[in-house]
Every structure is written in C-alpha cells, then in structure tokens.
C-alpha cells in the first residue's frame, strides 16, 4: 500500500494474541488438537508498542489468500 505523503497517520495495535509457555517443559500450552492455545488481555493498553514506528516501517499482510 502506498500512503498519501500529504496526510498524517498514527499506528495502533489491532490484535495481539498471547501464548503461554510451560517453564518446565519449555513448550507452549496447547489445545486438545495440538495447536497453540491463544489468549488475550482485555482492556490492556498496548499503545506504547508502536511508539517510534512510521508507516514506512510497515509490511502489508496479504489477506486475499
């Protein structure tokens, strides 16, 4: 995507899944089917993660597949 250089943009975190690792086994906590169990932290402020990031640093995710 090409951003309009005449506009100002801010970058935000849209979604941030969290996983948990068992320190004894050094393995992820998993679902019954073996996939990694994912969690969210409701109402947590992730805004600091994008501090100092510019739109030129971003790589677009191809959601058309």
Residue 6, CA distances (Å) to 3, 24, 50 in order: 9, 53, 21
Residue 23 domain-assigned?
Answer: yes
Number of domains within the chain: 1
pLDDT, tens only, 13-63: 888 999 999 999 999 999 999 999 999 999 898 889 999 999 999 999 887
Residue 42 domain-assigned?
Answer: yes
Residue 46 domain-assigned?
Answer: yes
Residue 30 domain-assigned?
Answer: yes
User: Under a CB-based contact definition with an 8 Å cutoff, are residues 1 and 57 in contact?
Assistant: no
Residue 58 domain-assigned?
Answer: no
Contacts of 18 (CB under 8 A, 6+ apart): 38, 39, 40, 41
Residue 49 domain-assigned?
Answer: yes
- What does pTM read for this prediction? 0.63
Residue 4 domain-assigned?
Answer: yes
């Amino acid at each position: 995507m090409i951003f309009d250089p005449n506009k100002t943009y801010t970058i935000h975190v849209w979604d941030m899944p969290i996983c948990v690792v068992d320190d004894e086994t050094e393995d992820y906590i998993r679902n019954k089917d073996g996939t990694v169990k994912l969690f969210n932290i409701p109402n947590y402020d992730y805004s600091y993660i994008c501090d100092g990031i510019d739109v030129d640093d971003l790589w677009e995710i191809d959601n058309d597949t």
